[in-house]
Amino acid sequence: MAVLEIKNLHVSIEDKEILKGVNLKMQTGEIHAIMGPNGTGKSTLSAAIMGHPSYEVTEGEVLLDGENILEMEVDERARAGLFLAVQYPSEIAGISNAEFMRAAINSRRDEDNKMGVMEFLKKLDEKMALLDMPEEMAERYLNEGFSGGEKKRNEILQLMMIEPTFAILDEIDSGLDIDALQVVSKGVNEMRGEDFGSLIITHYQRLLNYITPDVVHIMMDGRVVKTAGAELAKQLEAEGYKGLMEELGLDIELEEE
């Protein structure tokens, strides 16, 4: 069992404090959801965990099995078993989707234990079939010209190929049609198991109907303000953030939609 613990994390962007002391603990075998209004710091949290250089950690720790990953380089964090599906995947010309995934898999393996081409292709075929993806997508440049939904599906393909210990999935449901939503959920559910944990950032209960979370956290204004079971997402859907703020006695200004 592995444990990921975020302790009193403060993060600033260009001297503006965005995260104001985030605390969250999870372990493999669990799926946690993070919900929260726009601009509250959810993507900032994922970027800071993965080591994006624009995000300055001013206080706090992120511990992976007790080791502070904030002291690791970005590639070391991935090798340690962390994976991030970003909200807006970028297009990378010159490297094919398949090449990228094989490199990512092998970067986590020892020299004498690299995944060979045949094994890789077999696994790739299997996962792409499960995700209803056309074969040619493997040979295309990473995300180049992919539709919004194809990018999201491709993030899940990477997840299934790389098999990280912990995956942060930032709005993998945004912009998906109903069928794609089911396919993406199926991929995540396939990954579920005692060696895998996931932190799923979403705005909608809709996704959580397919992927039932063990724990739901509500983040507002740079902090986790409430943590409970799957029923919390349903409560939020019914009452909205205003209702939740009343319950918690919070006074936070929400961005206009």
Ligand X SMILES: Nc1ncnc2c1ncn2[C@@H]1O[C@H](COP(=O)(O)OP(=O)(O)OP(=O)(O)O)[C@@H](O)[C@H]1O
List of residues contacting Mg ion (CB under 5 A): 42-43, 87
Task: Considering the complex, state which of residue 36 and residue 197 has its C-beta at the smaller distance from ligand X.
Answer: 36
Kindly report the backbone phi and psi dihedral angles of residue 91, in degrees, each rounded to the nearest multiple of 5, phi listed first. -90, 135
Interacting partner of 213 out of Mg ion, ligand X, none (Cβ under 5 to 8 A depending on kind): none
Task: Considering the complex, state which of residue 188 and residue 218 has its C-beta at the smaller distance from ligand X.
Answer: 218
Q: What is the footprint of ligand X within residues 63-122 (CB under 6 A)?
A: 87
Q: Which span sits near ligand X by CB under 6 A: 21-29, 34-42, 134-142, 192-200?
A: 34-42
- Smallest gap, in angstroms, from Cβ of residue 156 to ligand X? 19
Does 40 engage in binding with ligand X (CB under 6 A)? yes
Tokens of 127: 């996962």
Does 213 engage in binding with ligand X (CB under 6 A)? no
Tokens of 220: 């507002």
Q: DSSP string spanning 48-106?
A: HHHT-TT-EEEEEEEEETTEEGGGS-HHHHHHTTEEEE-SSPPPEEEEEHHHHHHHHHH
User: By three-state DSSP, how is residue 188 classified?
Assistant: helix
The radius of gyration of the chain from alpha carbons, rounded to an integer in Å, stands at 18
Interacting partner of 229 out of Mg ion, ligand X, none (Cβ under 5 to 8 A depending on kind): none
User: By three-state DSSP, how is residue 135 classified?
Assistant: helix
Q: What's the CA gap between 205 and 11, in Å, rounded?
A: 28
Cβ atoms 153, 131 nearer than 8 A: yes
- Smallest gap, in angstroms, from Cβ of residue 62 to ligand X? 16
Angle in degrees, CA 18, 169, 83, rounded to 5:
95
- Smallest gap, in angstroms, from Cβ of residue 86 to ligand X? 11
Interacting partner of 154 out of Mg ion, ligand X, none (Cβ under 5 to 8 A depending on kind): none
Task: Considering the complex, state which of residue 40 and residue 97 has its C-beta at the smaller distance from ligand X.
Answer: 40
Does 8 engage in binding with ligand X (CB under 6 A)? no
Q: Which ranges in 109-177 belong to alpha helices (H)?
A: 117-130, 148-162
Helix axes 148-162, 178-191, angle to 10 degrees: 10
- Smallest gap, in angstroms, from Cβ of residue 163 to ligand X? 26
Interacting partner of 77 out of ligand X, Mg ion, none (Cβ under 5 to 8 A depending on kind): none
**Which residues contact ligand X by CB under 6 A?**
13-14, 18, 36, 38-44, 54, 87
